[in-house]
Amino acid sequence: MALSMIRVSFSKQANDGDYGSETARCELEYTLGDGDLNPAGTDLPAELLISARAYVHAELSKSPNWKVRHAVQEPEHAEALQLAEDDREDLPY
């Protein structure tokens, strides 16, 4: 049986700090054609998930509640944290 469809889903719930929260969810579905499984060397499921994640974060960042908007903001030092995580892979056990 051949793979004919890729479906990804991403959701995020942001707490507003007052016993409430907002949730955004995005589900993307892609029907594969001939030769679509790995077009031009891309990882199609990963690309779809990146798009779904970006959409969810963008929607939550438009919330009328400032606490929800703040909860989904990337920290200013996110790049430094990512570099630190990448460096940990090189360390011995």
Segments making up each domain of the chain, as ranges: 5-88
Alpha carbons 68 and 9: distance in angstroms, whole number: 21
- The answer to whether the pTM exceeds 0.75 is no
**Would you give per-residue pLDDT tens digits along the chain (93 residues)?**
566 888 999 999 998 888 889 999 999 998 887 666 555 567 888 899 999 999 999 999 999 999 999 888 876 665 555 555 555 555 554
Alpha carbons 18 and 93: distance in angstroms, whole number: 42
Helix (H) or strand (E) holding 88: helix 78-88
For 52, the token pair is 């779904």
Q: How many helices (H) and strands (E) does the chain have?
A: 3, 2
- CA dihedral angle for residue 25, residue 68, residue 21, residue 49, rounded to 10 degrees: 20
